[in-house]
Amino acid sequence: MSEQEHETKVRLRRTKSVARAEDIQRADYMVRRSQPDKPCHRPRDSLFSWSSGFNNFTGFVNWGFLLLGIGGVRLLLENFIKYGVRVDPRQWFFFLDYKNGGSKDYPSVILITYSLVPVLFCLLIEKGLSLDIIAHGPGMAFHVVNLVVMVLMPMVVIHVKESGFTLIGAEYVCMLYAILFLKLWSYVQVNMWCRANAKKISSKQGRIRRQSLSYDNSQVSTAHQNSNEDEETYHDANGADVHLVKYPKNLYIGDLFYFILAPTLCYELNFPRTQRIRKRFLMKRIFEVFVGFQVVMSICQQWIIPSVKNSLIPFSNMDVAKASERLLKLAIPNHLMWLCFFYLTFHSFLNLMGELLYFADRNFYCDWWNANNIDTFWRTWNMPVHRWALRHLYIPVVEMGYGKSTASVIVFFISAFFHEYLVSVPLKTFKVWAFLGMMGQIPLSAISKYVERHFGARWGNIVVWSSLIIGQPLSIMVYYHDYVVTHFGDTLLEDHSIV
């Protein structure tokens, strides 16, 4: 008997045995049903057993939400009883250090206005490059100097000014300059690509013109004339004419300022556009932005600031038990504020700007809450930054011949710099905790992938959520401690009245 015939017989025997077992069970069931005692039992697994096939736990999810809601209400009542009402909307709109009498030179407003200077300077450099007034080398050097000075400007002014800035004003200024840096980087690089492509086309057409000059001068002149057209027209899905702008006709102030206001960090000569503004959709987003801002600031004033202050003494004394208790107490309001800020920024505000500007690409985030590892989370929670990093850092570095690991480290390095920039500069506390936290995402990503691979996707997702819930309040506590020590000295740590 061959091996194949033996396997066939074994398979048939197994099939017959399974069918035989089913016949026996069915016969037993029919016999039991015919009994006069009316049996109600049959072979069944418990619902929590994997073999039961049961997977509907919706009730437990609702129970969990209800329990979390009750716990949140209890903590909120405890906060009101202990601290009273601390919400003060007057503090939300001040750019000036009004507690110290304000400042007559309005530094926040001046820096916001000054941000137009590097934008216009960038456009002038690009105009010079397109007209061959500025050579490529000096032009790129001018761009680098312009971007570096733009990033350093808030650092120098906020550090030098003793008063005049509130935390909100300084944070807004730093955020504005960081976004402008990324946008202008994209603007410069895209125009550089277009310039290089135009030179390739011009060189190719020059060779064709020289080769065909003795054959048909009229055809060559016609081709040359068509190649110099500034716009290209095509029909979209609705049959409407769409005019595509070609380089260098995109180099005008209206196009640049549209890009500055658009909810994206990646520049294109022709953005996808919508046909109209949906008024109902727009009103919903305006309402969400207004209410969401109130909620975020109220949580910060009423819940987070007292918890952070109360964590100062235990954290300074390295009291692990009390510091851990304060950390876990701070984790809930901090994470709630972070979730509200995410929705306010990436859904409400960016959709609001997209609707006003007829901007059609509204993919500002993906399902980051389902991320099974840290790497997936960073690719899905902030799509504008992810696209910028992929398009202007990761892919160019790989095309230069470097490995993917090197490109990933460079991306995390730039991200870590700006995370530190947005924290240390407004606080005037130049530390490296945010920088180290972002660089620490590289080994944490490897750990989360290991957990996902060996323990399943659910545990990988738990690692992602744990890093978000615990990491952020720990960073806040560290920076607040350093801020107090830097600006008020160690003597304030001895004042137990703040506990």
pLDDT in tens, 223-281: 344 444 555 665 555 555 667 888 889 899 999 999 999 999 999 998 999 888 999 99
pLDDT in tens, 174-218: 999 999 999 999 999 999 999 888 878 777 766 665 555 444 444
Question: Is the pLDDT score of 117 beyond 80?
Answer: yes
Distances (CA, A) of 448 to 200, 379, 400, 460: 45, 14, 29, 5
Provide the CA 310 distance to its chain's centre, in angstroms: 30
Question: Is the pLDDT score of 5 beyond 60?
Answer: no
**Could you tell me which of 376, 409, 407 has the C-alpha nearest to residue 392?**
407
As a whole-number percent, the residues of the chain with pLDDT over 70 amount to 73
Half-sphere exposure of residue 319: CA atoms within 13 angstroms, side-chain side: 14
Residue 172: CB atoms within 10 Å? 16
Give the model's pLDDT for residue 228.
44
List, in sequence order, every residue forming a beta bridge with 273; answer none if it has no partner: 359
Contact indicator for 250, 187 with CB cutoff of 8 Å? no
What sign has the CA pseudo-torsion 42, 45, 51, 57? positive
Contacts 24+ apart (CB under 8 A), 80-84: 80/302, 82/306, 83/302, 83/306
* Domain spans in the chain, listed from the N-terminal domain onward: 105-206
* 243 SS3 class: strand
**Could you tell me which of 289, 286, 297 has the C-alpha nearest to residue 337?**
297
List, in sequence order, every residue forming a beta bridge with 234; answer none if it has no partner: 242
Residues contacting 292, CB < 8 A, separation 6+: 340, 343, 344, 348
Structure tokens at 143: 């761009």
What are the percentages of helix, strand and coil residues in the chain, rounded to 5?
75, 0, 25
Helix H or strand E segment including 289: helix 279-299
419 catalytic? Reply is: yes
Helix H or strand E segment including 455: helix 441-455
pLDDT in tens, 405-450: 899 999 999 999 998 898 888 888 877 888 888 888 888 888 988 9
Catalytic residue among 143, 392, 419, 481: 419
As a whole-number percent, the residues of the chain with pLDDT over 90 amount to 25
Distance CA 185, CA 180 (A): 8
pLDDT in tens, 304-336: 777 777 777 776 666 677 777 777 777 888 888
